[in-house]
Amino acid sequence: QKEVEQNSGPLSVPEGAIASLNCTYSDRGSQSFFWYRQYSGKSPELIMFIYSNGDKEDGRFTAQLNKASQYVSLLIRDSQPSDSATYLCAVGNQFYFGTGTSLTVIP
């Protein structure tokens, strides 16, 4: 059973700040890593995926992967109230998900 761990939060940041979300995983053989955002009452939607060590940037979002330490993180720059949601980390081709981190961006 692959395990994916996330800090459930809640995480609160002021508008305009950087939000940092972290995820650790147990299976060293995992090759693909995904971040999903889920608004309350909605289904998850893919934000980013990353396969290689290092950083991957997409607009205000940056995914960071460190396979040696078995963690993947998501940075949200210039956080907006519309970023308030639960962020889910998923690993591998069977999509084992963490329980999610609830983020609130305070105006």
Partner 1 sequence: KAGVTQTPRYLIKTRGQQVTLSCSPISGHRSVSWYQQTPGQGLQFLFEYFSETQRNKGNFPGRFSGRQFSNSRSEMNVSTLELGDSALYLCASSINPTDWAYEQYFGPGTRLTVT
- The binding site for partner 1 (CB under 8 A) comprises 1, 31-32, 34, 42-46, 49, 51, 88, 92-100
Phi, psi (deg, nearest 5) at residue 104: -120, 125
| Closer residue to partner 1 (CB): 61 or 97 | 97
Least distance (Å) between residue 44 CB and partner 1: 5
Least distance (Å) between residue 48 CB and partner 1: 10
How is residue 35 written in tokens? 């971040």
Least distance (Å) between residue 78 CB and partner 1: 25
Give 98's contacts (C-beta < 8 A, 6+ positions apart). Answer: 4, 5, 6, 23, 88, 89, 90
Q: How far apart are alpha carbons 21 and 75 in whole angstroms?
A: 6
| Closer residue to partner 1 (CB): 34 or 79 | 34
